[in-house]
Amino acid sequence: MNYIYDLHRTMMAQKLILVYEGDFTQETTKSILSMAERNLDSSGEDSGTKRKVFNVMVEALQNIVKHSSEQGLQVGSLISKSAIFMISKDDSRYCVMTGNPIAKGNVAKLTANLNDLNSKDKDGLKEMYKEIIKNTQISDKGGAGLGFVDMARKSGEKLEFTFANLDADFDFFCLKVNISREKE
Amino acid sequence: MEILNLKGTEDTPTILLDKKNGIFEISGRSLPEDSAEFYRPVLEWIGAYASDANPSTDFVFKLEYFNTASSKLILDVLSALEDIKGIKVLWYFHDDDEDMEEAGQEFSELVEIPFEFKTY
């Protein structure tokens, strides 16, 4: 039973204010959002910071919901729909973090996309956003292809990411989006 | 013309489109699971309205938050409004919400419609 205390200590040390692990749907998204929102409200967070955190949370959660459907089809696979969502908070910033399985075949493209985003400044991201929204069609999964661009814009910092090896077919995609609590 | 009246929820906006009383408003939060499906009746209503529009149309956006999938559909709504004579968009934002103000400015650069910015 030591893991209970271990997990608790990890959460305290990493200053995690919310962790959700499991199946992600629009319903869980709404529940997580309302919990996180109550937390932000009760801590009296600055309204601008609050809106940015909320914004990043929505895009991060809906990304997982959209992409978990494909993995769920793998009957008998170790790769389930299971993913993780966390928020940490310290004196200077909030971090919205997600982890979810991704087919190895998609890793190169996602890496290139994220590196491309990270190479752009504020105006570059704005142009990219406008270019995509003009030309995009809503995908079968309901995405507009704008989620990461929007997260990068709201964060104002580089998106941190890494891939951990899961098995022959899947990696675990870890994403961290920082939102500063300090006013510009 | 029939009134389109959708009551807002925690993830969908309030929508009121009423030709007779000249009320055209989308307000609240927009982060539906399927944004294309949610906005379909709105786009259909505007399509029908465009063929027999009032002399002037003030279309109000008073959004507190919208996700990126909704932003694409908001652009579709604006594009559908573009050809209506006497159309004007009133874009409301919280006086301390720079992101919502900027979002409105970006939309205004993407369509040929006069935008008026207002705070609430």
Cross-chain residue pair A47–B31, CB shorter than 8 Å: no
Q: Residues A59, A60, A66, A69: what is their CA dihedral angle, to the nearest 10 degrees?
A: -160
Q: What is the pLDDT of residues B44-73, one digit of tens each?
A: 999 999 999 999 999 999 999 999 999 999
Cross-chain residue pair A62–B98, CB shorter than 8 Å: no
Q: Considering the domain B4-119 in this protein, what is its CATH number?
A: 3.30.750
Return the pLDDT at A167.
87
Cross-chain residue pair A133–B31, CB shorter than 8 Å: no
Q: Looking at the domain A2-180, which fold is it?
A: Heat Shock Protein 90 (3.30.565)
Lowest mean pLDDT among A49-63, A88-102, A137-151, B12-26: A137-151
- For residue A130, list chain B residues with Cβ-Cβ distance below 8 A: 106, 109-110
Q: What is the pLDDT of residues A46-94, one digit of tens each?
A: 999 999 999 999 999 999 988 776 554 454 455 555 899 999 999 999 9
Phi, psi for A73 (deg, rounded to 5): -75, -15
The top-scoring range by mean pLDDT among A103-107, A131-135, B40-44 is: B40-44
Spatial separation of the C-alpha atoms in residues A32 and A62, rounded to whole Å = 12
B30 touches chain A (CB under 8 A): no
Amino acid at site A18:
L
- For residue B36, list chain A residues with Cβ-Cβ distance below 8 A: 138, 142
> Mean pLDDT over all residues of chain B?
96
Look up tokens 């919205």; give the residue.
A96
Angle of CA points A170, A60, B110, to nearest 5° = 120
Provide the residue ranges of all domains of chain A, joining segments of one domain with +: 2-180
Average the pLDDT over A156-169 and give the result.
94
Phi, psi for A176 (deg, rounded to 5): -130, 125
Q: Where are the beta strands (DSSP E) in chain B?
A: 4-6, 14-18, 23-30, 57-66, 87-93, 115-119
**Alpha carbon of B95 to those of A137, B91, B116: distances in Å?**
32, 12, 14
Q: What is the pLDDT of residues A11-54, one digit of tens each?
A: 999 999 999 998 888 999 999 999 999 999 998 899 999 999 99
